[in-house]
């Protein structure tokens, strides 16, 4: 089965609902960049994919960084002298600053206050905060909760551990005819956050499932990693693989109702950049294409100057532009099955461009061939897009001089890549075109 067949075989609408269900299942888990929450997330994904799970020991040097101690947490709360839990980790795992050191102390509100984080401009929302590389602790809560706290002697407990352990990540490879690889990466290190984190995880999983049964031209490598330290670790341990990376996508924030946003790789004009731009351009949907900048998700590492990999980043609304970002409002209400479906469809369409892009040679380059004589008008009489199809044939014939790929042709003609490949197939069958 080719990728084209595999793409045709899946129903994006169903995939969208299934991805949403997976997100709902993963939502309650308290993930961080290391620890049992991350492992348990990979366990869930392993029901869908035959994931390879890697464990990298704390203290491992990875370029300029060191794999941190493993963090785990069982409970955390702030209790009044009357024994009431006014902040309770069991209610939301966002209540604890990620990587908080263990605490068991009694203190006044005044003493506790510097450890409390709120969002005054969104008084009902709990912020998401982390302190990976500083020994620190804290609680996040809504402004409303904070406003209700009276002076008291509070019992403050964080039942966490920071011990030598492992950084865990998952990897899944769909082997292709070529050793050249398409890298798909998502971060899976955030606790109960849906758009930023779980939408990318679910999309990467479903893309891997869709390709798993096919025999692709390129190999597809899927990474489920903690943000920053995870991509740095993977890059450090896989330098030998990097020359084979011909394209890549970082996926994040792909479930909200906004239009798609593609951020180009550092080089800006690699095949994945052009494929994604073409797919978005011909989609008819609102979208945005932005130049690379060295801030964002793990494309920062993939596109660092020592690697400069052809890796872009796909989002719907980018992180900095939706107010729910890194708050408890990035929940199951923020994301939608049809948005996930659209992100899924778009990635597959871009993969199809990579898979099917090639250069052909017009066997009859002097004047147009007589298409009518070969039934190439009649043969397509039943199509509703007959005129577009004929136009696509003329474009393919005109530009198949050995210097233009099908993607070049699709870009110049502003015709959908799929239509261009179908026209190509018809011309190949008629003997008018040969793959170079």
Among 234, 181, 184, 180, which Cα is nearest to 207's? 184
Q: By rule CB under 8 A, what string of x and - marks binding of each residue 97-136 to a second copy?
A: ------------------------------------xx--
Q: Which is nearer to a second copy, 72 or 364 (CB)?
A: 364
CB 63 within 8 Å of CB 70: no
* One residue of 413, 416, 419, 421 binding a second copy per CB under 8 A: 413
Q: Say if residues 331 and 266 touch (Cβ distance below 8 Å).
A: no
Nearer to a second copy, 7 or 245 (CB): 245
Q: Could you tell me if 94 and 139 are in contact, meaning their C-beta atoms sit under 8 angstroms apart?
A: no
Residue 127, classed as helix, strand or coil, is strand
Decide: is 370 part of the binding site for a second copy (CB under 8 A). yes
In whole angstroms, give the CA distance from residue 342 to residue 34.
31
Give the shortest CB-121-to-a second copy separation in angstroms: 17
User: Which of 297, 303, 186 is closest to 242 using CA atoms?
Assistant: 303
The b/e string for 340-357 (b: 16+ C-beta within 10 A; e otherwise) is bbbbbbbbbbbbbbbbbb
Q: In whole angstroms, how close is the CB of 400 to a second copy at the nearest point?
A: 7
Pick between residue 283 and residue 363 the one whose CB is nearest to a second copy.
Answer: 363
Rule CB under 8 A: which of 297-336 touch a second copy? 300-301, 303-308
- Nearer to a second copy among residue 71 and residue 395 (C-beta): 395
Length of the chain: 436
333-338: long-range contacts, CB 8 A cutoff, minimum separation 24: 334/194, 334/195, 334/255, 334/256, 335/20, 335/23, 335/194, 335/195, 335/199, 335/255, 335/256, 336/16, 336/20, 336/255, 336/256, 336/257, 337/13, 337/16, 337/17, 337/19, 337/20, 338/13, 338/16
C-beta of 107: minimal distance to a second copy in Å?
25
Q: Given candidates 366, 381, 382, 384, which one binds a second copy under the rule CB under 8 A?
A: 366
399 near a second copy (CB under 8 A): yes
Beta strand 359-362 with 433-435: parallel, antiparallel or unpaired?
antiparallel
Residue 77 Cα distances to 106, 121, 149, 151, 424, angstroms: 12, 24, 14, 17, 64
Tell me: does residue 367 bind a second copy (CB under 8 A). yes
- According to DSSP, residue 405 is labeled E
Exactly one of 50, 61, 64, 150 binds a second copy (CB under 8 A); that residue is 64
Number of residues that bind a second copy (CB under 8 A): 44
| Window 227 to 256, contacts with a second copy (CB under 8 A) | 228, 231-232, 235-236
Kindly state whether residue 364 participates in binding a second copy, applying the rule CB under 8 A. Answer: yes
Beta carbon nearer to a second copy, 40 or 304? 304
12 touches a second copy by CB under 8 A: no
Q: What is the closest distance, in whole angstroms, from the C-beta atom of residue 231 to a second copy in the complex?
A: 8
Number of other CB atoms surrounding residue 207 within 10 Å: 25
**Which lies closer to a second copy via its Cβ, residue 154 or residue 234?**
234
| Closer of 283 and 304 to a second copy (Cβ) | 304
**Site for a second copy (CB under 8 A): which residue of 372, 381, 382, 384?**
372
269 binds a second copy (CB under 8 A): no
Residues 369/374/377/379 CA torsion (nearest 10 deg):
-150
Would you say 12 or 248 has its CB closer to a second copy? Answer: 248
Q: Which of 1, 8, 63, 175 binds a second copy (CB under 8 A)?
A: 63
Among candidate residues 281, 255, 238, the one with its CA nearest the CA of residue 411? 281
SS3 428: helix
* For a second copy, the closer CB: 46 or 237: 237
Instruction: Give the residue with the Cβ less far from a second copy, 150 or 403.
Output: 403
Interaction site with a second copy (CB under 8 A): 62-65, 133-134, 228, 231-232, 235-236, 266, 291, 293-295, 300-301, 303-308, 362, 364-370, 372-373, 391, 394-395, 397-401, 412-413
């Amino acid at each position: 089965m080719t990728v084209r067949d595999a793409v045709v075989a899946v129903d994006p609408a169903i995939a969208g609902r299934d991805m949403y269900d997976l997100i709902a299942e993963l939502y309650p888990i308290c993930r961080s960049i290391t620890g049992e929450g991350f492992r348990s997330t990979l366990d869930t994904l392993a029901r869908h994919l035959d994931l390879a799970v890697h464990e990298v020991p704390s203290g491992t040097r990875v370029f300029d960084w060191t794999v941190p101690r493993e963090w785990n947490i069982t409970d955390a709360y702030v209790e009044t002298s009357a024994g009431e839990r006014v902040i309770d980790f069991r209610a939301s795992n966002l209540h604890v600053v990620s990587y908080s050191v263990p605490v068991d102390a009694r203190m006044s509100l005044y003493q506790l206050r510097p450890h409390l984080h709120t969002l005054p401009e969104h008084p009902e929302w709990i912020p998401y905060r982390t302190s990976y590389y500083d020994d620190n602790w804290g609680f996040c809560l809504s402004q409303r909760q904070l406003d209700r706290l009276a002076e008291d002697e509070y019992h403050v407990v964080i039942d966490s551990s920071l011990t030598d352990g492992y950084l865990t990540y998952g990897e899944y490879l769909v082997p292709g005819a070529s050793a050249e690889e398409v890298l798909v990466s998502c971060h899976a290190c955030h606790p109960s956050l849906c758009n930023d984190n779980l939408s990318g995880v679910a999309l990467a999983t479903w893309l891997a499932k869709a390709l798993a049964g096919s025999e692709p031209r390129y190999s597809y490598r899927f990474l489920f990693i903690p943000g920053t330290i995870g991509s740095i670790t993977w890059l450090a341990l896989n330098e030998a693989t990097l020359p084979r990376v011909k394209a890549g996508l970082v996926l994040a924030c792909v479930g909200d109702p906004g239009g798609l946003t593609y951020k180009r790789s550092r080089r800006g004009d690699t095949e994945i950049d052009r494929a994604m731009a073409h797919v978005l351009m011909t989609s008819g949907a609102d979208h945005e294409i932005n130049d690379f900048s060295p801030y964002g998700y793990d494309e920062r590492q993939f596109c660092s100057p020592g690697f400069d990999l052809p890796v872009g980043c796909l989002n719907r609304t980018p992180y900095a532009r939706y107010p729910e970002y890194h708050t408890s409002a990035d929940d199951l209400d923020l994301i939608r099955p049809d948005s996930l479906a659209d992100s899924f469809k778009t990635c597959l369409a871009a993969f199809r461009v990579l898979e099917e892009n090639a250069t052909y040679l017009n066997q009859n380059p002097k004047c147009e061939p007589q298409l009518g004589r070969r039934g190439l008008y009649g043969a397509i009489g039943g199509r509703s897009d007959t005129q577009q199809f004929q136009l696509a044939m003329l474009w393919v014939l005109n530009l198949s001089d050995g210097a233009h790929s099908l993607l070049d042709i699709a870009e110049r003609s502003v015709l959908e890549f799929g239509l261009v490949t179908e026209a190509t197939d018809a011309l190949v069958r008629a003997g008018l075109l040969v793959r170079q």
